[in-house]
Each structure stands twice: as C-alpha cells, then as structure tokens.
Amino acid sequence: MKKLSLYVFVVLFFFNIKFVNAENIRHAYFAGGCFWCMEESFEKASGVSEVISGYSGGNLSNPTYKEVTYKNTGHFEAVKIIYDQSKINFERLLNLYWTNIDPFDAAGQFCDKGLSYRTVVFYQNNLQKQLIEKSIKNIEKKFNGKKVVTFVRKFEKFYPAENYHQDYYQENFINYLMYKKACGREEQLKRIWQ
C-alpha cells in the first residue's frame, strides 16, 4: 500500500496534476477588444484555469467570426474565464480586466475598431453588478470625471469561437506579437494606467 501511495504521489507531482474542488469553480465573462489579447492577459493570473475566446451579448445563435465582425449580430468578441474562487475572486478579475483595456474608447480597442470590439463587463448576479458599478465610479474619479464607456450587461449566453482562435497567442506566437506590436496595445495601456 505504501508503494502504491508513493507511486501515485510521484505521478501527480511529475505531471503537475492538481485536484480542484468543483464547488470553487466559477465563470466570468468580459469583452475587451481582441479576444486573443484578453486570453493572454487572464491566463497568466493565478487561480485562472482556462480562458476561452468567443462571442457574447448578441442575438444570433452560434455566430461565426465573419458574422460577428462584418454583420450586425450584436455580439462582442469576449472571453469566458474559468477560475477557482478560492484562489482569485471576481473583483480581482475585474481589476485585471480594467488594466488591460482602454475604458474610454467607444469605437473599439486599440487598432481594432467596430461594434464587436467594444468593451463589456457581463454580470451574473447583483453582487457582480454592484462591484462593476463601484469600480466604474472609482475609475471615473481617478481620471477626474472622464466617462467610462464600457458597457455593463447581464450575461445571457456565450458561444466559443472557432478552434483557430483558441490559444492563438501561444499557437501563433510570432504573428500574435507582430499584431500586438502593430496595434500599440501595450504602449497605450501604459499611458493610461501608469
């Protein structure tokens, strides 16, 4: 029995297998312009187990990237964040979200302009809605009354994007870096938040 226990421990340690209490798993939904960039930002956060690129906020079932980008579906490029609430909470995710977008740009984000690239925080309950509204007031106060144009919407449905969009920043690292650099995303975020 001791050998079996030791074997299991070694396997778990070697493969870095983590046990997760399913009761602690939660989902959060944000739209912040390019979902590739949102994936990268949130997947680095401790307590986040997965980030899925997709579409939310609109009226078309199972939309495609072309439909969301070029037609009036009402959807935004969004991410679904799967996280362990014992390690990171919604408020911390919300703070991370703000520092990775320009909350004052009503036309989109950075070099991505258009309806589907606007920013949205989706809430699932009244507590989340209150936290979002409080954080917006704090940002507007910090920026001397400058109006935050990020939408606050009740979450309804999330549709995963096509497979080639998932983990794009890892799977297509060079292309992603060139895109992000050309957009000036990091430079603009530093100007806003530092």
Q: Active-site residue numbers?
A: 34
Burial letters 32-67, b for 16+ CB under 10 A, else e: bbbbbbbbbbbbeeeebeebbbbbbbbeeeebebeb
Q: Which tokens hold the place of 169? A: 């920043």
Nearby residues of 177 by Cβ (< 8 Å), 6 or more positions away: none
**From the CB of residue 98, how many other CB atoms can be counted at a distance below 10 Å?**
21
Nearby residues of 62 by Cβ (< 8 Å), 6 or more positions away: 159
Helical spans, DSSP H, in the chain: 2-14, 35-43, 65-70, 90-98, 126-142, 168-171, 173-183, 185-193
* Sheet containing 151-154, strands listed edge to edge, beginning at the edge strand earlier in sequence: 151-154, 119-123, 25-32, 76-84, 48-56, 158-160
Residue 85 CA to residue 45 CA, distance in Å, equals 12
